[in-house]
């Protein structure tokens, strides 16, 4: 009997309009997030490739070995392709380490020219699962409990 009640409730929720709308909205949020984060990654990768070319030209133009000791030698960090899905601990995606003979290493993060970041908060997969999916679980749970109370079967279910 419990199996039939669970089956009925699951089918009622899965075939409802609220579940279909929630699925469409979730798909739209995930695809939009992947698109924006993908654009950020491609911009970071373009910047990385340009920096590699410029740094190689600087190194090839050095005539004497002491020239490398007294000028900045830059080492570029390749952007992480997994930043498309999750931002991670650090917000930087790639960057440059500047080395000079008499000074400690200096890490310079890349600037991303994304104009949508000030308008919208960062939505990655961690934000999506943590916030949006939790809110959907609360909404569907509330709907299930209030639906049982309206039908009068909540007392019957609790008595079992």
Please write the tens of the pLDDT for every residue from 94-150: 777 777 777 776 666 665 555 555 565 666 777 777 888 888 888 877 777 776 666
**CA–CA separation, 23 and 36 (whole Å):** 20
Q: Where are the alpha helices (DSSP H) in 15-153?
A: 17-61, 65-70, 125-127, 133-151
Q: What is the pLDDT of residues 30-63, one digit of tens each?
A: 888 888 888 888 888 888 898 889 888 887 887 7
**CA–CA separation, 94 and 45 (whole Å):** 8
Angle between helices 2-14 and 133-151 (to 10 degrees): 120
Q: Give the SS3 label for residue 99.
A: strand
Say whether pTM exceeds 0.75.
no
Does residue 91 carry a pLDDT above 80? Answer: no
Q: Give the SS3 label for residue 134.
A: helix
Q: Are 138 and 18 spatial neighbours (Cβ–Cβ below 8 Å)? A: no
**CA–CA separation, 61 and 59 (whole Å):** 5
């Amino acid at each position: 009997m419990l199996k039939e009640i669970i089956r009925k409730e699951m089918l009622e929720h899965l075939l409802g309009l609220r579940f279909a709308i929630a699925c469409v909205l979730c798909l739209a949020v995930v695809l939009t997030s992947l698109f924006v984060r993908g654009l950020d990654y491609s911009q970071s990768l373009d910047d990385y490739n340009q920096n590699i070319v410029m740094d190689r030209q600087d190194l090839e133009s050095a005539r004497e070995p002491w020239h490398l000791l007294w000028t900045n030698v830059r080492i570029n960090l390749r952007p992480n392709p997994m930043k498309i899905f999750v931002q991670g601990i650090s917000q930087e995606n790639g960057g440059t380490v500047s080395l000079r003979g008499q000074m400690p290493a200096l890490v310079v993060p890349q600037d991303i020219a994304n104009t949508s970041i000030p308008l919208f908060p960062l939505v990655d997969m961690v934000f999506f699962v943590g916030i949006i999916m939790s809110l959907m679980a609360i909404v569907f749970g509330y709907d299930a409990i209030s639906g049982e109370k309206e039908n009068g079967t909540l007392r019957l279910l609790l008595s079992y």
